[in-house]
Chains A and B, each alone.
Chain A
Amino acid sequence: MSEKRKILLIDDDSVMHDLVRAFLTRVGYEFISAMSGEQGLEMARSEKPDLILLDYLMPDLDGVEVYRRLREDPGFEALREVPVIMLTAREEDGHLRSRMLEKGVFAYLSKPFGLHELRNVIENAFIASEINRRNRQLQDEIRRARDYLQHVIDAAPVGVFATDTEGKIVLANDFMARLFQVDSPQKLIGRDTLSVGLGGAPEPLAAVRMVLQEGESYATEHLRFHSPDGRLLYLNVRVVPLREGDGNLRGAIGIVEDITEAEKRAVEMTMLTQIAQAMQGTIDIEEMLHLILTCATAGEALGFSRAMIFLISEDGRELRGTMGVGPSSPQEAVAIWSSLSHEKMSLPEFLEKYGRRKPDPRSRFNNMVKELRHPLEESDCVLARAVREKRTFVVEHGRLKSGEPAQCEWFTEVFGTDQFVCVPLVAGGRTIGLLVADNLYTGHPIDDSLVQLLTLMANQAGLAIERARAHADLAAQKKRLERTIEKLWEMQERLVEAEKLATVGQLAAQVAHEIRNPLVTIGGFARSILEAPKSEEEMKVIAGVIVEEAQRLENILNNVLDFTRLSKPKPERSDLNDMVQKALFLVQDELEKNKIRLEKKLAYDLPAVYVDQQQMRQVLLNLLYNSIDSMKGGGTLRVETGLRDEEHVFVKIQDTGPGMDEEVLQNMFNPFFTTKSDGTGLGMPIAKQIVHGHGGRLIVDSKVGEGTTFTIVVPIKGEIARTAEEKEALHET
């Protein structure tokens, strides 16, 4: 130490002054002295000595009083730690000595004392003083560190606590105090972790017991905790054992996390999902509305007292009360809640049981809602505003959050509340109605998170209602369509009947006319024979004519029979190519005789068709003969088969004959229309009827001077069967 230590002697004995000064300055101390207590105190204040030697017996102020002032009076704060050595000339007074030592006097020296003894005591005092100083410094540091730690723990956004081996809390932070709602963390110290939660089961810190028993860390997640003020909190608690250096269990430390907000959001999301799923389960509009209102009032969901839906009339001018769900009176509310609380059901179970049905027709509340009408135009009522502005409004004491009056006195009069929330139901950018809910019976405030949730649900509800409506429209349209189709079928059947009759009538008339010609001829010659004798030559001619005409009559008769008898085709699996080949074989002679060249182009991969082979052969032959007849002077006959589309095959028969003019084209399918002197005029009508009977088409394309093409189009699957199947299927749906 560079500076000399300063020692103050307070003593009324001047001999003592000289003696001690001489000695202490010699051994390297700076020495100052005072002759009285007052003077000593003065000097101590001004000189700030490092050590004070204080005489016990002095006039005016004795040593005990001086010491007291040094230690207690203001003005001596800087000297509080300065060691004081009491000097006394008195006989050994054990009592005083121990009293003073207790008060902090470092040593007690009885006069006379040796100077070396004094020096030893002084040096010891300095050493002790240094030790004390360091000790205090350490303690300060320890205190600061502890304060810092406590501050850190208190500021932590999670609850932090520690327990002893008994599970009693020895440390807790502010978060814990707030969680258990006590004034300060100190109030938790000493509390048992098994009862700190006020017995609200389950105890949030019960994990401590597990940790203390098992010696292993333990975590509980999503713990439901009812805080003392009744709020439901969700906590994550993690506890680990606290061990000493030797491995012995000293207690437990734990962290408590409040995950209520996140949990709430997760629960809300789950709930909305469940609600959305429930809504997707129904398409009946009334069931849908009831489901929406059940969600709004279900305790597990939004838990409103009552909820109602207003829909906007088709002309957009009026709000119409459509459905209400909720108790009609406080008594009913209590009854419903108590019965529901017995059935512990998840939301989906609840909605399944109570949501998916139509409202109870006896519900007074529902009936009350259904009678309500409110004009939308020129109304400043909050309900009309919610529709117009597509906004959610919360009404409290008849006022909006903005302070504007809600202007809903009519509503308050009917429902007895001026606290409610109204949420627009929007679908496709258009407001289709309103969802209104209140807490009349519980009196719970309508808080923002609830409103937000209701709005989210209303968004889904709007779409769901729209979907249900669309489905109802669709169902009505389907019904109309079904009736129309039904009528069409009837009409078609009647038409077919009428057409059949007309065809038969037409046929009868045609037959009548057609047989007239041969009859005229036969009868004419017969009369001629009767009226005048004929030569043998003449008779031969006449007989030949009669035979020929009789043959003609027979032909007509056969064709007529074919035509009228055309039974329903008996389809069998057939290879159209094969049928074409066989038909061509039959006309081979005719082709050669008339010098007609044949070009075949048959599709090798033609799918099998279901046709009446006999009938179809007749059609093919008829068309082939027609073509051959049109090319008496020679030409080219092209026959082609192939796929027309995915469902039809075709046979094309093309000639290079003179072609047909407009008149012939128009009449060619009329019975008895013929351009041949020996034709019956029934070939084409019969061919057409057969093809149509197979659900196919017979297409004619002809140009005068170029030739004619007949195309038979046949469905791959038997059309008759399919028509029947389709008709049946339509009746079933």
Chain B
Amino acid sequence: MARILVVEDDDNQRLLYKMELSREGYEVDVAADGQEAIDKVKANQYDAVVMDLKMPKVHGLDAITEIAAIDKELPIIINTAYGGWQDDFKSWAAQAYVLKSSDLSELRVQIQKAVEKRQKAN
């Protein structure tokens, strides 16, 4: 079973992603901010990371940079309400950039791809 980490500061959205992605059959771990995400990547093995960007303590983009430094091959999917971050080169380390939507199908597709890529590499 693929294991994914959802990084999201909004409590209710964390709940939503956990519920929905679990239903997809993933083992879902969550983090409420960038720092917690970094700590969890260090401690655990994931097949993909879903990363919100605008978060307290450590910003998503900084967390991405940190995570890439820990595990270069770990696919990261940016999931944000803001389109603007695509211009920031730090976001280019991510595999995919998904605009937040109540329709999670795009996010599901990107997670699927990432997990496949990760498992193929392993």
Contacts and interface: CB of A to CB of B under 8 A. Distances in A.
A349 to B, nearest CB: 82
Q: Point out which of B9, B16, B20 has the most chain A C-beta atoms below 10 A from its C-beta.
A: B16
A605 B75 CA distance: 66
Contacts of A538: 19
B104 A677 contact: no
A189 interface: no
B56 A520 contact: no
A549 B103 contact: no
Nearest to B57: A675
Contacts of B101: 520, 523
B102 A523 contact: yes
B11 A523 contact: no
Nearest to A549: B12
A524 B23 CA distance: 13
Contact of A520 (B9, B23, B82, B102): B102
Interface string B1-43: 0000000011111011001100100000000000000000000
A527 interface: yes
A521 B81 contact: no
A514 to B, nearest CB: 8
Contact of A524 (B9, B56, B104): B104
Given A513-B82, A525-B16, A519 B102 contact: yes
Interface in B73-104: 81-82, 100-104
Interface string A675-698: 101000000000000000000000
Interface string A498-535: 00000000000000010011011111111110001000
Given A513-B82, A516-B81, A520-B81, A527 B104 contact: yes
A675 B12 CA distance: 17
Given A516-B81, A526-B102, A527-B104, A548 B12 contact: yes
A327 to B, nearest CB: 86
Given A513-B82, A526-B102, A521 B19 contact: no
Contact of A541 (B13, B15, B20, B81): B15
Contacts of B19: 528, 538
A677 B56 CA distance: 9
A545 interface: yes
A522 B10 CA distance: 12
Contacts, number: 51
Contacts of A513: 81-82
Given A513-B81, A516-B81, A521 B9 contact: no
Contact of A517 (B10, B20, B56, B103): B10
A520 B13 contact: yes
Contacts of A516: 81, 100
A517 B13 contact: yes
Most chain A CB neighbours (cut-off 10 Å) among B13, B56, B101, B102? B102
A545 B15 contact: yes
Contacts of B16: 520-521, 524-525, 528, 545
A532 to B, nearest CB: 6
B100 A517 contact: yes
A521 B10 contact: yes
Nearest to B102: A523
A522 B19 CA distance: 13
A523 B103 contact: yes
Contact of B9 (A519, A527, A677): A677
Candidate in A528, A541, A675 with the most chain B CB atoms within 10 angstroms: A528
Contacts of B12: 521, 545, 548-549
Interface string B108-122: 000000000000000
A443 B10 CA distance: 108
B109 to A, nearest CB: 15
A523 B101 CA distance: 8
Contacts of A675: 56
Contacts of A525: 16
A677 B11 CA distance: 9
Contacts of A520: 13, 16, 81, 100-102
Contacts of A545: 12, 15-16
Nearest to A523: B102
A524 B81 contact: no
B23 A522 contact: no
A663 to B, nearest CB: 9
Given A513-B81, A532-B23, A675-B56, A527 B11 contact: no
A524 B100 CA distance: 10
B108 to A, nearest CB: 11
A519 B56 CA distance: 21
A521 B13 contact: yes
A545 B16 CA distance: 9
A526 B20 CA distance: 11
Nearest to A541: B15
21 contacts: A513-B82, A516-B81, A516-B100, A517-B13, A517-B100, A520-B13, A520-B102, A521-B10, A521-B13, A523-B102, A524-B20, A527-B102, A528-B19, A528-B20, A528-B23, A532-B23, A545-B12, A548-B12, A675-B56, A677-B11, A677-B56
Given A520-B81, A524-B13, A527-B102, 8 more contacts: A517-B13, A517-B81, A521-B10, A523-B102, A528-B16, A532-B23, A541-B15, A545-B16
Interface of A: 513, 516-517, 519-528, 532, 538, 541, 545, 548-549, 675, 677
Across the A-B interface, the 8 shortest Cβ-Cβ residue pairs? A523-B102, A516-B81, A524-B16, A545-B12, A521-B12, A524-B102, A520-B100, A513-B81
